[in-house]
Amino acid sequence: MAVDVALQFELEDLYSRYASLLDDGPLRDWPDLFAQECLYLLIPRDNYDRGLPLAIIRCESRGMLVDRVRAAQETIMHEPRYLRHHVTNVRVTAVHGGRIDAIAHFSVMEVLPDELPRVLCVGRYIDVLQRREDGALEFVEKRCVYDSVLVPNTIVYPI
Amino acid sequence: MSNAPSLVWPEGGNTRIPYQIYSDPAIFRMEMDRIFSGAGWAYVGLEIEIPNPGDFKVTRVGDRSVVITRDEHGEIRGFVNRCAHRGVKLCRHEFGNTRFFVCPYHQWSYDATGALRGVPFIKGVNQLGGMPEDFERTDYALPRLITCMRNGVIFGSFAASMPPLETYLGEVNTRYFDRVFDGRGLKLLGYSRQLIPGNWKLMFENIKDPYHASLLHVFLVTFGLFRADQKSQVRMDPTGRHALLISQRGEAKASAATRDISNLREDFVLQDKRLLDPVKEFPDDATVVMQTIWPNLIVQQQSNTLALRQIQPRGPGSFELHWTFFGYVDDDETMTRRRLRQANLMSAAGLVSGDDSEVIKLTQEGVMRHPDDAGVLLMGGRDSNDTQHMVTETALRAFYSHYRAVMGF
């Protein structure tokens, strides 16, 4: 498949904004990158590979993403932390009927008070995107399949 | 033989917990021997994980890796995952199907019962080398676990013999175990794994402690899933080692029971209410039953999420919490989806259980620096009797009563 240079840059820019919103905020704007009807899964790789449906975060609409973000900020008791998402190897795998399939790799570093940085989560995004009326790309489906199945304590914020 | 721990339990009996037990390596080693290799039925898996002859799974009892197999006759077996020759971890895959477990180092091979079946060059090569004349393969079978199964749930033990599971659990705990595992076929939904930087006992304490549940878990309280004023019970077996927290959902509104929660979010309204659409599915009215089974299992029924949480200690300062989520084969698509959605509350990224893993870490950071101090368990009195309310630490006192008897403290 020939590389669509414009689309490639557009996707890279979207993933960069995605990472910025999660890491530097405002977190409440992060769900806006998704379609109203969407699916977001944070799923351990062993479940994914074996066809087991359990995800440790499952949001089935933008509303559920909003609820998750609010709960992470307001109800989950947790130590303060900084996250840093690194998204690489962005690649379009198919374009069909206005929908774009894309994959990307991610590694998320976590910094806790009084501790050295560590890898919180590493894996790949398996995504489906579409265009809004204004032409902007949005996520319809995002499966965050993480290889680091043994989670270092707690994942509070989205990956 | 490791050094015997030296510990003087503080005055106050089971109302005082010496912090030394959360960080002392000698106490940890003794726990692995007496608690996890002693007279207990440890959870090791579900029957549906190894349905066919030759199937196996690798798990842990205490901090020791074990292999659970189904042999050629369909019997469930268990043995230590460590070659009898040089101590190499034998099986490197979490699940699979095989006739023989072959050590990668010198290819000693074992069958599904843990019997040593093959030793390369046992008679030597060209009359050179080989094992001594008196070498008998039967002397080198892997240490075995005895196993039992109840309604699809497999337990193992390193003890030479154990009473049946229903005797071990006691009448009340068996009844509640059978409430979830009622003989219906189970459907595996998946796993969540997390490494929590705290002592393994803190996880049991957490689930046996209803006092915290209505205070720490703002999400649960905000949405009325667990409140201190709900109709509830704490029940133990006669030894105190197993416990049940049983509760019935109430209203999501402010009350005397929420007055002490400074950060209650009364204005938090879900954008998508499908996250919480629990339906009644058990004959009684309980909406939450959390069962703790000595020495390594939590059976969770919170609304419609069903999970087994297996505690796998990894040294005094950390443990893996290994979650297995399941439903029933007769669940329809809607019910399966509901269970999967509600799992948002309980996992390594749980909206509710996240509070617990975070607070366990903070507890460990506090107690490990002060081994000569002790924690206080006075809520609800000094006894360890069953209660008809949640404002109590009775199940923790009961747990430590049994713990002290087993450990000789």
- C-alpha dist (Å) from residue B95 to A144, B50, B147: 23, 8, 18
| A108 contact B CB<8A | no
Which candidate from B325, B349, B354 shows the least CB-CB separation from A42? B349
Under an 8 A CB cutoff, do A52 and B350 touch? no
What is the pLDDT, as a whole number, of residue A2?
A: 84
Q: What is the distance, to the nearest Å, from the Cα of residue B279 to the centroid of all Cα atoms in its chain? A: 26
Mind listing the pLDDT tens digit for each residue in B291-350? 999 999 999 999 999 999 999 999 999 999 999 999 999 999 999 999 999 999 999 999
Indicate the residue of B268, B347, B357 with minimum beta-carbon distance to A56: B347
CB contact under 8 A, A68 and B344: yes
CA dihedral B394, B400, B401, B402 (to 10 degrees): 120
SS3 label, residue B299? strand
**B117-125 CB contacts, 8 Å cutoff, 24+ apart:** none
| Residue of A28, A32, A56, A74 to mutate when probing chain B, most B C-beta within 10 A | A56
Q: Is B336 on the interface with A (CB under 8 A)?
A: yes
Confidence at residue B262, expressed as pLDDT on a 0 to 100 scale: 61
- Nearest CA among B353, B395, B376, B346 for reference residue B246: B395
Closest to B265 (Cβ–Cβ): which among A68, A74, A150? A74
Q: How confident is the model at residue B153 (pLDDT cuts 50, 70, 90)?
A: very high
Looking at residue B62, its pLDDT comes to: 97
| Integer Cα distance of B155 and B42 in angstroms | 5
Q: What pTM did the predictor assign? A: 0.96
User: Looking up tokens 């720490």, which residue turns up?
Assistant: B216
Q: Looking at residue B220, what is its pLDDT?
A: 85
Q: pLDDT (tens digit, 9 = 90+) per residue, B74-83? A: 999 999 999 9
Cα–Cα distance between A41 and A54 in angstroms, integer? Answer: 9
Question: Could you write out the DSSP letters of every residue in B168-189?
Answer: HH-HHHHHHHHHHSSSSPEEEE
Cβ atoms of residues B43 and B297 within 8 Å: yes
pLDDT value of position B243: 98
Confirm or reject contact between A35 and chain B (CB < 8 A).
Answer: no
Alpha-carbon distance B301 to B296, whole Å? Answer: 17
Q: Are strands B55-61 and B95-97 parallel, antiparallel or unpaired?
A: antiparallel
Which ranges of B48-140 does DSSP label H, i.e. alpha helix? none
Please give the pLDDT value at position B222: 86
Report the pLDDT value the prediction gives residue B225, as an integer from 0 to 100.
78
Q: What is the DSSP string of B21-56?
A: GGT-HHHHHHHIIIIISSS--EEEEEGGGS-STTEE
- For residue B381, the Cα-to-chain-centroid distance in whole angstroms is 27
Q: Where are the beta strands (DSSP E) in B303-386?
A: 305-313, 319-328, 374-376
- Alpha-carbon distance B307 to B190, whole Å? 10
d(CA B103, CA B82): 9
Q: Do A154 and B274 touch (CB under 8 A)?
A: no
Q: What is the C-alpha separation between B206 and A116, in angstroms, rounded?
A: 28
Distances (CA, A) of B167 to B163, B302, B308, B401: 6, 26, 21, 19
B254 band by pLDDT with thresholds 50, 70 and 90? low
**The pLDDT value given to residue B229:** 79
CB–CB of B207/B251 below 8 Å? Answer: no
Q: What is the pLDDT of residues A4-40, one digit of tens each?
A: 999 999 999 999 999 999 999 999 999 999 999 999 9
**Would the CB atoms of B351 and A53 count as touching at under 8 Å?**
no
Q: What percent of chain B has pLDDT over 70?
A: 96
Give B381-406 pLDDT, tens digit per residue: 999 999 999 999 999 999 999 999 99
Q: Is the dihedral of CA A45, A46, A47, A51 positive or negative?
A: positive
Task: Report the alpha-carbon distance of residue B311 to residue B336 in Å, rounded.
Answer: 25
Residue B251 pLDDT exceeds 70: no
| Whether the Cβ atoms of residue A145 and residue A124 lie closer than 8 Å to each other | yes
Ramachandran category for residue B309: left, alpha or beta (phi over 0 → left; psi -120 to 50 → alpha): beta
8 Å CB contact of B94 and A46: yes
How far apart, in whole angstroms, are the C-alpha atoms of residue B23 and residue B68?
30
Residue A99 CA to residue A78 CA, distance in Å, equals 38
Confidence of residue B223 (pLDDT cuts 50, 70, 90): confident
Q: Which residues contact B259 (CB under 8 A, 6 or more apart)?
A: none
Q: From start to end of chain A, where are the E strands?
A: 34-44, 57-59, 82-96, 99-111, 118-131, 137-146, 150-152
Mean pLDDT, chain B, integer: 94
Cα B304 from Cα B315, distance rounded (Å): 33
CB atoms within 10 A of CB B2: 11
In B, minimum Cα distance to A46 occurs at B191
Examine the pLDDT at B1 and tell me if it is beyond 50: no
Q: What is the pLDDT along chain A (159 residues), one digit of tens a residue?
A: 689 999 999 999 999 999 999 999 999 999 999 999 999 999 999 999 999 999 999 999 999 999 999 999 999 999 999 999 999 999 999 999 899 999 999 999 999 999 999 999 999 999 999 999 999 999 999 999 999 999 999 999 999
User: Does the distance separating the beta carbons of B94 and A153 come in below 8 Å?
Assistant: no
**Cβ–Cβ below 8 Å for B343 and A58:** yes
pLDDT digits (tens, 9 = 90+) for B82-95: 999 999 999 999 99
Task: Judge: A52–B190 Cβ closer than 8 Å, yes or no.
Answer: yes
> Considering CB atoms only, which of B219, B270, B354 is closest to A78?
B354
Residue B268's pLDDT is what?
A: 87
DSSP A74-102: HTS-----EEEEEEEEEEEEEEETTEEEE
In the predicted model, what is the mean pLDDT of residues B237-266? 78
Q: Which residues pair with B324 in a beta bridge?
A: B191, B308
Q: Among B1, B117, B31, which residue's Cα sits nearest to residue B319? A: B31
Average pLDDT over residues B133-149: 97
Among A42, A54, A153, beta carbon nearest to B196? A153
Q: What is the pLDDT of residue B261?
A: 64
Inter-chain Cβ pairs, chain A and chain B, closer than 8 A: 129
B194·A153 Cβ contact <8 A: yes
CB B243 within 8 A of CB B235: yes
- Contact between A105 and A88 under an 8 Å Cβ cutoff? The reply is yes
- Please determine, for residue B266, whether its predicted confidence score (pLDDT) is greater than 80: no
**Residue A156 pLDDT:** 97
* Contact status, residue A106 vs residue A122, Cβ threshold 8 Å: yes
CA distances from A101 to A4, A86, A93, B311 (A): 13, 20, 5, 39
